[in-house]
Chain A
Amino acid sequence: MPAEWSAEELLRELGEALDERAGVPAGIAGAGRQLYAWRTVDAELSELVADSAAGAAPALTRDPGGTGASAPAAAGPRSLTFRSARLTIELDLEREPDALRGQLRGTGPDLPRQLAVERVGAEPVTVAVDELGYFAVEEFPLAGVRFRLRAGSVVTPWVD
């Protein structure tokens, strides 16, 4: 049976907890509050179904190369696949310099011809998609981005 926390221990721990709160840099909550503008309201959130940089991490807490579980080779692009009801988005992310290549594949007749790349705090960049669904962006910073298809109203989770 686990021992009980004594009143003294509990009070001391409460003191630590409240000190922790008092010491949080203002920027942490401030930035978090502003992110509400990035809420995805009416777009369908596509599901990440494959990530070459992740081991067998669960989808909710994808862990690209972080814990050393099958760390990706430094060379070669990272491949990601997102799936929504009507579309599959395949992405190759290359590093040094950052570049992005990908293909949209849809089940319907019309593929969206534009893809928006969004970054927090920056204007989105619109990328043309050719008739076969291919698109490419050279020299694009790939930290903390997501991809939105305005026509199909689909957005990917954030990729970093």
Chain B
Amino acid sequence: MSCSATSDPPAPLPGTGGGPADPTLRALVAGAVAGDQHAWAELVDRFAPLLWSVCRGFRLSPTDAEDVTQAVWLRMLERLPSLRVPEALPGWLATTTRRECLRQLEATRGRAHREAPLLDEAVADERGDQVDEPLLRAERRDALRAAYDRLGERCRWLLALLLRDPPPPYAEIGVELGMPIGSIGPVRARCLETLRRAPGLAALLAADRRPEGVPDAGRVVR
């Protein structure tokens, strides 16, 4: 429903890491830099959907997407030690993946298309007017997944049930979670509110609702 008197802070640009600290991400980055292979694996697992979703926006084949993501993982590995703001990593990954996708498209289409304005084509494939929207969406969904994973077990379970297609009736959910039917609605609201306030997500949610007409399209083109 409506939020009570939260004064909206100016949304930081996505990818600048201006949001609140994300302790999980910080710990994983620090671990991977220090030589913890599991921390690296967790970082890869977290960001694989982000990379994949950007690649899918360019309609890359799975083989091409694997080439692209390998290049992106290598850059991430190379850059982690000098990364000052771990929270900037998702935005950096989204941008880097897009660049690698464009390069891959250019390589597979061959030199005959070299003069063609490839980026413009790719952007038109996406959404036309909102150049940054695919990247914003990729970042937002990454933050959502990270926030979901940090929810308590009951919240995760309930939201997963509600996301089934079709969602089971409340009576069934109540039985499965051992919860009176009357408390399902309030718990659902609380879980979503916790999700909404997760570090990093609030800024991305706000960024998506920029007023119409903000001249940000074209920023990326030249």
Q: Are B221 and A158 in contact (CB under 8 A)?
A: no
- Contacting pair B192 A11 (CB below 8 A): yes
Task: Return A40 CB to nearest CB of chain B, in Å.
Answer: 7
| Cα of A25 to Cα of B69 in the assembled complex, Å | 11
Which listed residue (A3, A16, A36, A160) contacts B41, Cβ 8 A? A36
Cα–Cα, bound, A120→B92 (Å):
22
- B175 at interface by CB-CB < 8 Å: no
| Contact (A20, B52) CB under 8 Å given A13-B140, A36-B40, A61-B99 | yes
Residues of A within 8 A of B111 (CB): 74
**Are the C-beta atoms of B141 and A29 separated by less than 8 Å?**
no
> In the complex the two chains form, is A29's CB within 8 Å of B99's CB?
no
* Contact partner, B195, options A10, A61, A65, Cβ 8 Å: A10
In the complex, which residues of chain A have a beta carbon less than 8 angstroms from the beta carbon of B220? 67
Q: Nearest A residue to B73 by beta-carbon distance?
A: A32
Name which of A29, A38, A40 has the most chain B CB atoms within 10 A of its CB. A29
Tell whether A24 is near chain B: CB-to-CB under 8 Å. Answer: yes
Is A17 interfacial (CB-CB < 8 Å)?
yes
Identify whether the interface residues of B are mostly helix, strand, loop, or mixed.
helix
Q: Is the CB of A13 within 8 A of B65?
A: no
Is residue B216 within 8 Å, beta carbon to beta carbon, of the partner chain? no
Q: Are B209 and A18 in contact (CB under 8 A)?
A: no
Q: How far is the CA of A10 from the CA of B144 in the complex (A)?
A: 9
Q: Which residues of A5-19 are within 8 A (CB) of B?
A: 5-7, 10-11, 13-18
Q: How far does the Cβ of A58 sit from chain B's closest Cβ, in whole Å?
A: 10
A97 within 8 A of B: no
Q: How large is the interface on A (under 10, 10 to 19, 20 to 34, 35 or more residues)?
A: 35 or more
A-side interface residues toward B, CB under 8 Å?
A: 1-7, 10-11, 13-18, 20-21, 23-25, 27-29, 31-33, 35-36, 38-41, 45, 60-61, 63-69, 71, 74, 120, 144, 157-158, 160
Going nearest first, the 8 A-B pairs with the smallest beta carbon separation are A2-B209, A17-B141, A32-B44, A29-B48, A32-B73, A17-B144, A21-B49, A15-B163
Mask of B127-156 contacts with A, CB within 8 angstroms, 1/0: 000000000000011101100100000000
A-B contact pairs, 29 of them (CB 8 A): A2-B209, A7-B1, A10-B205, A11-B162, A14-B144, A17-B142, A18-B148, A20-B52, A21-B49, A21-B145, A24-B49, A28-B48, A28-B51, A28-B66, A29-B44, A32-B73, A33-B45, A39-B35, A61-B96, A61-B99, A66-B99, A66-B106, A67-B119, A68-B118, A74-B111, A144-B71, A158-B74, A158-B78, A160-B71
B141 to chain A, nearest CB (A): 4
